[in-house]
Amino acid sequence: MTTGMFRELLRQQPFRPFRLVMSSGEAYEVRHPEMAWVTKNDVLVGTDIADDGLPAEFRICPMFHVATVEPLSTDTRAG
C-alpha cells in the first residue's frame, strides 16, 4: 500500500469503514476517517475508543507491514 492509497480510502465519499490486517496477523478497524492518520511511511490508527468518541490510544502501522485492507460491514441491523 502507498500513502496515496490510504489517503484515498480515508477521503471516500461516503466513507466506507475498513480493517487493516498486518503481516503479524493483528488487525485494526478504521470506522471513521478521523480515526486514522497517514504519514510518509505509517498509518496511525486510533484504538480503545472512549465514550466521548475519542481514541484513548493509537497503533503505528508501518505501510510495508499492511498485508491487506478489508471492507467492514456497515449494516447496523440486529439479526
Residue 22, in any domain of the structure: yes
Residue 77, in any domain of the structure: no
> Is pLDDT at 18 greater than 50 in this prediction?
yes
Residue 64, in any domain of the structure: yes
- Going through the chain in order, the beta strands assigned E by DSSP cover 18-22, 27-30, 36-38, 42-49, 55-62, 66-71
Helix%, strand%, coil% for the chain, nearest 5: 20, 45, 40
Question: In which region does residue 68 sit, left (phi positive, over 0), alpha (psi from -120 to 50) or beta (all else)?
Answer: beta
Give me the number of domains the chain comprises.
Answer: 1
Residue 79, in any domain of the structure: no
Tens-digit pLDDT profile for residues 33-77: 999 999 999 999 998 878 887 888 999 999 999 999 999 986 655
Residue 76, in any domain of the structure: no
Which pLDDT belongs to residue 77? Answer: 52
Question: Which residue has cell 484515498?
Answer: 8
pTM of the shown model: 0.83
Nearest by Cα to 45 from 71, 12, 17, 23:
17
Range of the structural domain that residue 37 is part of: 3-71
